[in-house]
Chain A
Amino acid sequence: MNGPVLILGAASGMARAVARSFAQAGHPIQLAARNVARLEDDAADLRTRYGTEVTLYEFDALALDSHAAFVAALPALPEVAICAVGAMGTQKGSEADPLAASHVMRSNFEGPASVLAHLANAMETRGSGTLVGISSVAGDRGRASNYVYGSAKAGFTAFLSGLRNRLAKKGVHVVTVLPGFVKTAMTEGMDTPAPLTAEPEEVGAAILKAVTRKTNVIYTRPIWRIVMAVIRNIPEPLFKKTSI
Chain B
Amino acid sequence: MTELSGWGRFPRVDCRVVTARNEADVRAAVLEAPLIARGNGRAYGDAALNAGQTLDMTGMDRMLSFDEGVLVAEAGVLLSDIIHTFLPRGWFPMVTPGTKLVSLGGAIAADVHGKNHHIDGSFRSCVDWIDLMGPDEVVTRVSTGDDMFDWTNGGMGLTGVILRAQIRLRRVETSWIVQESRALTSLADTIAAFEDTMDVPYSVAWIDCADGPHHGHSILLLGRHAVPQDLPMRKPEFKVRHKPKIPVPFGVPAFVFKGFMLRMLNSAYWRLGKFRAGEALVDWDTYFYPLDGLLNWNRLYGKRGFVQFQCALPKDTASEGMEEIMRTIAASGEGSVLSVLKRFGPQSGHFSFPMAGYTLAMDFPANERSLALMEQLDAITLAHKGRFYLAKDARMPEAVAKADSRAEAFAAMRAKAGLKKRFTSVQSERLGL
Residues of chain A whose beta carbon lies under 8 Å from any beta carbon of chain B? 13, 38, 41-42, 44-45, 48-49, 185, 188
With A and B bound together, what is the CA distance between A201 and B235 in angstroms?
32
B12 sits at the interface (CB 8 A): no
Interface hits, B36-89 → A, CB 8 Å: 59, 62-66, 71, 74, 81, 85
B22–A44 contact, CB under 8 A? no
Docked Cα-Cα span, A23 to B22, in Å, equals 21
Does any Cβ of A come within 8 Å of B140's Cβ?
no
Residues of A within 8 A of B63 (CB): 44-45, 48-49
B19 proximal to A (CB < 8 A): yes
A13 touches B21 (CB 8 A): yes
- Whether A45 pairs with B21 at a CB distance below 8 angstroms is no
A191 CB to closest chain B CB (Å) equals 9
Complex CA gap A44/B62 in Å reads: 8
- Cα–Cα, bound, A144→B94 (Å): 55
- CB pair B22–A45 under 8 Å, yes or no, is no
Q: Does A48 lie within 8 Å of B59, measured CB to CB?
A: no
Q: List 10 A-B contacts (CB under 8 A).
A: A13-B59, A38-B22, A41-B62, A41-B74, A45-B62, A45-B64, A48-B66, A48-B71, A48-B85, A185-B21
Indicate whether A44 sits within 8 Å of B85 (C-beta atoms), given known contacts A38-B22, A185-B21, A188-B19: no
User: Which of A13, A45, A48, A188 is packed against the most chain B CB atoms within 10 Å?
Assistant: A48
- Kindly count the residue-residue contacts between A and B in the assembled complex, taking CB atoms under 8 Å apart: 28
CB distance A42 to B19 under 8 Å?
no
Q: Do the beta carbons of B65 and A44 come within 8 Å of each other? A: yes
Interface of A (DSSP majority class): helix
In the complex, are the beta carbons of B65 and A48 less than 8 A apart?
Answer: yes
- In chain B, positions 3-38 with a C-beta closer than 8 Å to chain A are 18-19, 21-22
CB distance from A16 to the nearest CB of B (A): 8
Q: How far is the CB of A31 from chain B (nearest CB, A)?
A: 13
A49: B residues at CB distance < 8 A: 63, 81, 85
Q: A13-B21, A48-B63 are in contact. List 7 more A-B contacts (CB 8 A).
A: A13-B59, A41-B22, A44-B62, A44-B63, A44-B65, A48-B71, A188-B18
Report Cα–Cα, A188/B16, bound state, in Å. 11
A188 to B19, CA, bound (A): 8
Query: Which chain A residues lie closer than 8 Å to B22 at the CB level?
Result: 38, 41
Closest to A12 in B: B21
Centre residue among B62, B66, B71, B85 by max chain A CB count within 10 A: B62
The residue in chain A whose Cβ has the minimal distance to the Cβ of B25 is A185
**Chain A nearest Cβ from B85, distance in angstroms:** 5
B10 to chain A, nearest CB (A): 20
Q: How far is the CB of A29 from chain B (nearest CB, A)?
A: 14
- Residues of B near A185 (CB, < 8 A) are 19, 21
Residues of A within 8 A of B81 (CB): 49
Query: Which residues of A have CB within 8 Å of B65?
Result: 44, 48
| Residues on A with beta carbons closer than 8 Å to the beta carbon of B64 | 41, 44-45, 48
